[in-house]
Amino acid sequence: MSLNILKYPILFLVLCVVNPFPPVEPQAFATQFTKTLQNLRGIRKGQNANGVGTLRSHLKHLGYQINEQSSSNNFDENVESALKHYQAFHHLQTSGVVDDQTIETMSLPRCGLPDIPTISNPNPNPNPNAPQNYSYFPGSPRWNRFALTYRRSSSATISLSLSAVRQAVGNAFQTWRQNNSFTFTEVTGSSNIVYGFHRGSHGDGIPFDGPFGVLAHAFAPQDGRLHFDGDESWSIGGSGIDMETVSLHEIGHILGLGHSNVSGAVMEPTYAGIRRILTQDDKDGLKNLYGF
């Protein structure tokens, strides 16, 4: 189902980089960004407008090539090219114009990692309009073991019960276990993977942005950290953000997968309120990374 774009403003955060945005209150920034997108509706190459610099920063930190020497508020050929690649990745009309579909997609809640894969599948198609399919982190890092343990460690509390959280996360781990060599065991002591809920700045240099923006982020193998935004309205099959679907996505990152632009794949970066299951693309990505 489609989500109202005004209800879900998005703050793009990328792991392992310094936050490129001015230090403002998270929800204030989210509202500001939504207004910026609305104000840029219809802008195209050759035009200048306040807010193009913000769009330029978003595209850059989602992995799209941006020339920093360009004028900040000039919607030049470089911005148009980056926007077209964004539109192609998300299966939108590649108009190079900030149209309604682009605003809606940019406003969806999402994972904090960038769109553009560093390493695509073994036979990538250079055509920007073709699907990228599964991708990996730089250097294709992976675990050197298949029996992994996990535990919870949170700095924030949420309304969802601990038992419901454990069930959703446990189900997600067991889903990734299918048809491969991995096993996942919940423990209370030292573990390979640590997941939890946090708000705002929480010690990893990548602060969360409050409700309806970045839902979660995770680190490449063999780091093992998986963080959920404690300000989201988490649910189990309800009207909020589905805990199991987001867990499935972030565990994919924990195992070494980057984002995919296959529609409906668990590793698709945006969340549109639809509960997902592993697609063949998700399974192939893990299989080819570990050689199952």
Q: Is the pLDDT of residue 87 over 70?
A: yes
CA distance 233 to 83: 30
Per the annotation, binding residues for Zn(2+) are 111, 202, 204, 217, 227, 249, 253, 259, 267
Please confirm, yes or no, whether 250 is among the known catalytic residues. Answer: yes
Residue 264 pLDDT: 94
Per-residue pLDDT band at 117 (split at 50, 70, 90): low
Per-residue pLDDT band at 10 (split at 50, 70, 90): very low
- H runs (alpha helix) in the chain: 26-39, 52-61, 77-89, 100-106, 162-177, 243-254, 280-290
Q: Is the pLDDT of residue 33 over 80?
A: no
Residue 276 pLDDT: 93
Per the annotation, binding residues for Ca(2+) are 209-210, 229, 232
Residue 82 pLDDT: 95
> Is residue 98 within 8 Å of residue 42, measured between CB atoms?
yes
Burial class for 73, CB neighbours closer than 10 Å (0-12, 13-18, 19+):
middle
Instruction: Note the pLDDT tens digit of each residue in 164-205.
Output: 999 999 999 999 999 899 999 999 999 999 999 999 999 999
Query: Taking the model in full, what pTM does it have?
Result: 0.84
SS3 state of residue 283: helix
Q: How far is CA 7 from CA 21, 165, 213, 262, in A?
A: 21, 24, 10, 25
Q: What mean pLDDT is predicted for residues 19-29?
A: 38
* Domains of the chain from N-terminus onward: 26-108 (1.10.101.10), 147-290 (3.40.390.10)
Residue 30 pLDDT: 55
Burial class for 190, CB neighbours closer than 10 Å (0-12, 13-18, 19+):
exposed
Q: Is the pLDDT of residue 143 over 60?
A: yes
Per the annotation, binding residues are 111, 202, 204, 209-210, 217, 227, 229, 232, 249, 253, 259, 267
Looking at per-residue confidence, does 131 or 133 come out higher?
Answer: 133
Task: Please state, as a whole number, how many other Cβ atoms lie within 10 Å of the Cβ of residue 42.
Answer: 11
Tokens, residue 36 = 């910026």
Q: Is the pLDDT of residue 132 over 70?
A: no
Catalytic residue from among 104, 244, 250, 268? 250
Instruction: Note the pLDDT tens digit of each residue in 225-272.
Output: 999 999 999 999 878 899 999 999 999 999 999 999 999 999 999 998
Average pLDDT, the chain: 85
Per-residue pLDDT band at 69 (split at 50, 70, 90): low
**What residues contact 22, with CB distance under 8 A and at least 6 apart?**
none
Q: What mean pLDDT is predicted for residues 127-156?
A: 86
Radius of gyration of the chain (CA): 19
Task: Say how many Å lie between the first and final Cα of the chain, rounded.
Answer: 34
